[in-house]
């Protein structure tokens, strides 16, 4: 049965991603048609709680190898479709996302039990932050109160994946206390976003900066960047992602809590687009084969969407910070295009490989 659940969950989450990118562009200010009035406002929860919630939980369900673990990604995509179907389904969908992340927490607990290690605990901490963010949103608080928990979810999950893949260099003794100190600052920052939001976002920014420096210092990418082909491509994705995470962290420390608008856009998307999508570009050759059981055909063409992502994000962030609307609009549009081009190149690579296997 899991043979069907994997491609089905992956295909549905990619549909959610595509609709969410459309929602993002409406939210940015492109005056384009929409099939439902709530679409633009749903961009954030759809992207994180539904799409990433499903994608990452799916990866874990595959690793755990238990059918019940697929309930988490399935409920996340179902909630996404409910949100798109009707505004009246928003509240049940939000609670379904809470259920999905609670199920994912159980999957994480099973993984920790099977393999107690720093990375499994960190993954579980990431799931907890997703769950808390989803509960805050389901209780009806504004998204800017939940969003910092969602930021932590993605940063902790990606850091844990780097640890899991053993892609960190031989760690010196001081690396562990530094890691725990960064994690403690992140935890304190998150709690403060609830109690004293402005100070909380700044402290959380310090934690995020700590993760960016820690990953940049210890990731094996610093060495593999001197290789060629796929390892070099992955290294460039990762190192550019860490730089974006560092910049996002500095913006968080600078601006503090803001409920909406261009600086808010800059703080969030340096991390969500610059860091998270660079990681997806770099990890796709590892994630897709694991989830689908299909290899990915690396091609140097993958550099084009990465380059477009970086340049368009620079445009967007300059537009945000300097309040130049046209730069922000075009930068955001090209961000979405970069993601689409990467998806097309990856899908083409998989199809070509399948066809050549059959021939
Ligand atoms: C790729 C193109 C993207 C575009 C054009 C875009 C656009 C936007 C815009 C315009 C906003 C509102 C900012 C404001 O208040 O002015 C926003 C908010 C947000 N975005 Fe994106 N976004 C994109 C990608 C992403 C990605 C990849 C993620 C997650 C990984 C993400 C997650 C969010 C979240 C959580 C919010 C906060 C929502 C809220 O407060 O209502 N976005 N986005």
Q: Whole-number mean pLDDT of the chain?
A: 93
Across residues 81-93, what is the average pLDDT? 93
Q: Is 130 in the pocket of ligand 1 (CB under 6 A)?
A: no
Contacts of 216 (CB under 8 A, 6+ apart): 222, 239, 242, 243, 246
* pLDDT value of residue 293: 74
Render pLDDT for 2-60 as a digit per residue (tens, 0 to 9).
778 888 888 999 999 999 999 999 999 999 999 888 899 999 999 999 999 999 999 99
- Count Cβ neighbours within 10 Å for each residue of 209-231 and write b for 16 or more, e otherwise: bbbbbbbbebbbbeebbeeeebb
- Flag whether pLDDT at 142 surpasses 70: yes
Q: Is 24 in the pocket of ligand 1 (CB under 6 A)?
A: yes
Grade residue 289 by pLDDT with cuts at 50, 70 and 90.
confident
Ligand 1 atom 8: residue of nearest CA: 24
* pLDDT value of residue 7: 83
* pLDDT value of residue 302: 93
* pLDDT value of residue 197: 97
* pLDDT value of residue 167: 66
Backbone phi, psi, residue 168, to 5°: -110, 145
- Kindly give the distance from the C-alpha atom of residue 196 to the centroid of ligand 1, in angstroms, as a whole number: 23
Grade residue 233 by pLDDT with cuts at 50, 70 and 90.
very high
Kindly list the distances between the CA atom of residue 198 and the CA atoms of 189, 212, 259, 321, in Å, as whole numbers in the listed order. 10, 21, 11, 19
Quote the DSSP letter at residue 219. B
Q: Is 266 in the pocket of ligand 1 (CB under 6 A)?
A: no
CA distance 51 to 77: 7
Residue 190, token pair as written in the block: 């998150």
CA distance 244 to 313: 10
Contact 72, 107 (CB under 8 A): yes
CA distance 162 to 165: 5
* pLDDT value of residue 199: 98
CA distance 282 to 278: 6
Backbone phi, psi, residue 219, to 5°: -70, 140
Which range is least confidently modeled, 78-82, 272-276, 349-353? 349-353
Ligand 1 atom 34: residue of nearest CA: 44
- The preferred substitution site among 83, 241, 268 for testing ligand 1, maximizing ligand atoms within 8 Å of CB, is 268
Kindly list the distances between the CA atom of residue 242 and the CA atoms of 129, 225, 233, 237, in Å, as whole numbers in the listed order. 21, 14, 14, 9
Q: Is 276 in the pocket of ligand 1 (CB under 6 A)?
A: yes
Residue 217, token pair as written in the block: 């210092």
Q: pTM higher than 0.85 for the full model?
A: yes
Nearest-atom index, ligand 1, CA of 52: 30
CA distance 354 to 146: 42
């Amino acid at each position: 049965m899991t043979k069907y659940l994997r491609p089905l969950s992956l295909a549905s989450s990619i549909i959610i991603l595509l609709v969410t990118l459309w929602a993002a562009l409406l939210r940015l200010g492109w005056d384009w048609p929409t099939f439902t009035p709530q679409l633009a406002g749903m961009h954030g929860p759809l992207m994180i709680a539904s799409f990433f919630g499903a994608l990452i939980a799916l990866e874990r369900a595959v690793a755990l190898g238990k059918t019940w673990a697929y309930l988490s990604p399935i409920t996340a995509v179902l909630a996404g479709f409910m949100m798109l179907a009707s505004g009246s389904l928003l509240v049940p969908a939000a609670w379904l996302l809470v259920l999905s992340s609670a199920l994912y927490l159980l999957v994480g607990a099973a993984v920790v039990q099977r393999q107690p290690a720093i990375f499994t605990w960190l993954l579980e901490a990431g799931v907890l932050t997703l769950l808390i963010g989803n509960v805050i949103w389901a209780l009806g608080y504004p998204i800017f109160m939940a969003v910092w928990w969602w930021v932590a979810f993605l940063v902790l999950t990606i850091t844990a994946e780097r640890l899991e893949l053993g892609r960190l260099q031989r760690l010196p003794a001081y690396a562990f206390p530094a890691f725990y100190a960064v994690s403690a600052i992140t935890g304190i920052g998150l709690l403060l976003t609830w109690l004293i939001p402005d100070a909380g976002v700044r402290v959380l920014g310090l934690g995020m900066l700590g993760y960016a420096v820690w990953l940049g210092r210890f990731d094996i990418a610093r060495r593999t960047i001197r290789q060629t082909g796929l390892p070099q491509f992955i290294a460039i994705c990762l190192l550019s992602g860490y730089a974006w995470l560092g910049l996002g962290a500095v913006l968080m420390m600078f601006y503090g809590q803001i409920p909406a608008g261009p600086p808010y856009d800059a703080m969030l998307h340096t991390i969500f687009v610059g860091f998270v999508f660079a990681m997806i570009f770099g990890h796709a050759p590892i994630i897709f084969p694991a989830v689908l059981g299909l290899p990915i055909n690396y091609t140097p063409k993958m550099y084009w969407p990465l380059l477009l992502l970086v340049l368009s994000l620079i445009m967007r962030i300059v537009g945000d910070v300097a309040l130049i609307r046209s730069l922000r609009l075009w930068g955001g549009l090209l961000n979405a295009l970069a993601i689409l081009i990467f998806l097309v190149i990856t899908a083409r690579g998989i199809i070509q490989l399948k066809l050549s296997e059959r021939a």
